Chains A and B, each alone.
Chain A
């Protein structure tokens, strides 16, 4: 088997006395999509932010293309992580810039396009996420939440990155738009041959996007397997989660 695009081993992170990640192991094979599921506050966002270098883990190993980014020189780590395009959970659009500049921000920063081409390029990418050319000149605050999410998605995929992270890409979208976005993600990942990690709470979405799935629970990956087995596995934690039952090993109400 070829080398995984991303390999995470024994990753640990605590905030003060609160342990969030307690030894996470994870593989993303080249050109595949991994969906990460798990309850609210189990550290899914912290996990991908650690891979991105936005959160510094306490211990463990994160390999991209077989190189440990935590041990690499800052310049090399930046280079490795530079392959990652990220859709933030809340969009994180730059509200001082119009939509078109948001979408082409990475391309402009890498000098892959010129400023006067940027608007047309933005319109092109926006069309892929189902947004019209009229949106390009608006400011992010003039958009609905769902539109912001799609602009953020457009920004994340604009540079056609080799690795894509999607933090809850379909939360806040109507079911149809959710399905459209899922399709788009699948299309992008397949077309570019990218490897991706998507965080989601939506089981239908997980089925559509994911090749593989991992369930994060109490700081560890308690279950990992093919995404389609999410709904059929007998693992009690996964079962309770996917069927959304209040009774079971996961005690939401009793958690601090």
Chain B
């Protein structure tokens, strides 16, 4: 009986802790977002964060998208040829890339690259008193450090996903025409007849949400880190793991909202 009570108490504490955590993250997010809209603005810092998140993630996102498109064509060919439905390959590639794989894979890659870097940078600033120093120099740290990164994440991810969409489809095209013997014209026309602006736009909405989540987790964990180098390491890991899980979970929620009518 006592054991049962202990278990319940433990469970209760865990739930309370979780709810408290969600509350803290939400407050942090609201505060960060509200600073985007209030002066002073830091365009230089938004630009720098945009370069870190967007520009320097170009190669890794491009390669991921290209290879994913190629594998997708190859695998669906194996599956569909059993039913003589090879002609569906183009539609499978374009649908899955624009709706799902572009945003999700770009999100996961950027989280590993830029989200981790953000957490490490802010974490180091926290444990070396640099964040405290900001506030003694007439600067609000949330506005100076967090708001530009959130904004850059929201803008950069959709742009990366446009690239990922194009390269993913191109990867499928290359494999289909070079290896699987499709006629380029047939494959392309089949691609375009399955191409829906709606899919792309929904994918970009997802991307903006993922970009926000990546920057939020990077900033939140870095900003709150404590305990020296080890704390910064923990913050970095937590930022990447939580952003990745959130991306996958939110992908489901957003798919439900955007596509299931």
Binding site for B on A (CB under 8 A): 49, 52-54, 81-82, 84-86, 88-90, 92-96, 105-106, 109-110, 155, 159
B133 in contact (CB, < 8 A):
yes
Query: Which chain A residues border B136 with CB–CB below 8 Å?
Result: 52, 54, 81, 84-86
**B132 and A49 form a contact (CB under 8 A):** yes
Give the complex CA separation of A229 and B217 in angstroms: 53
B residues 115-138 in Cβ contact with A at 8 Å:
121, 124-125, 128-130, 132-138
In the complex, per-residue mask of B128-151: 1 if CB is within 8 Å of any chain A CB, else 0: 111011111111000000000000
Point out the residue from A86, A96, A110, A159 that lies within 8 Å of B133, measured CB to CB. Answer: A86
| B137 partner, pick from A54, A89, A96, A155, beta carbons under 8 A | A155
A159 surroundings in chain B (CB, below 8 A): 137-138
* Tally of contact residues, B, Cβ under 8 A: 14
A93, B130: Cβ atoms closer than 8 Å: yes
Would you list the 4 A-B pairs with minimal beta carbon distance, nearest first?
Answer: A92-B129, A106-B137, A92-B133, A109-B138
A85 to B128 Cα, complex, angstroms: 17
CA gap between A52 and B125 in the complex, in Å: 18
Name 15 interchain pairs, CB-CB below 8 A, sorted by A. Answer: A52-B132, A54-B136, A82-B138, A86-B133, A88-B132, A88-B133, A92-B128, A92-B129, A94-B125, A94-B133, A95-B130, A106-B137, A109-B139, A159-B137, A159-B138
Bound: A166/B134 CA distance, A: 16
Shortest CB-to-CB span from B227 to chain A, Å, is: 13
Known: A49-B132, A95-B124. 13 other contacts (CB 8 A): A52-B132, A52-B136, A88-B132, A88-B133, A92-B130, A94-B125, A94-B134, A105-B137, A106-B138, A109-B138, A155-B137, A159-B137, A159-B138
Interface of B is mostly: helix
Q: Are A54 and B135 in contact (CB under 8 A)?
A: yes
> In the bound complex, what is the Cα–Cα distance between A114 and B52 (angstroms)?
27
Alpha-carbon separation in the docked complex, A159 to B128 (Å): 22
Q: How far is the CB of B144 from chain A (nearest CB, A)?
A: 9
Cα(A18)–Cα(B224), bound, Å: 21
* Pairwise interchain contact A90-B139, C-beta atoms closer than 8 A: no
Nearest Cβ in chain B — how far from A100, in angstroms?
14
* Chain B nearest Cβ from A131, distance in angstroms: 19
Residues of chain B within 8 A of A88, CB atoms compared: 129, 132-133
Q: Are B129 and A90 in contact (CB under 8 A)?
A: yes
Distance in Å from the Cβ of B50 to the closest Cβ of chain A? 16
Chain A hits for B134, CB < 8 A: 94
Bound form: Cα–Cα A84–B135 in Å: 11
CB–CB A54/B138 < 8 A: no
Give every chain A residue within 8 A of B135 (Cβ-Cβ): 53-54
Q: How far is A105 from B133 in the complex, measured between Cα atoms in Å?
A: 10
What chain B residues lie within 8 Å of A95 (beta carbons)? 124, 130
Q: Let me know if B138 and A90 touch, CB within 8 A.
A: no
Q: Please give me the residue from chain A that is nearest to B129 by CB atom.
A: A92
Q: Which B24-38 residues have a C-beta within 8 angstroms of A? A: none
Residues of B within 8 A of A54 (CB): 132, 135-136
CA A63 to CA B142, docked complex, whole Å: 26
CA distance A81 to B135 in the complex (A): 10
Chain B nearest CB: distance from A25 CB in Å? 24
B130 to chain A, nearest CB (A): 5
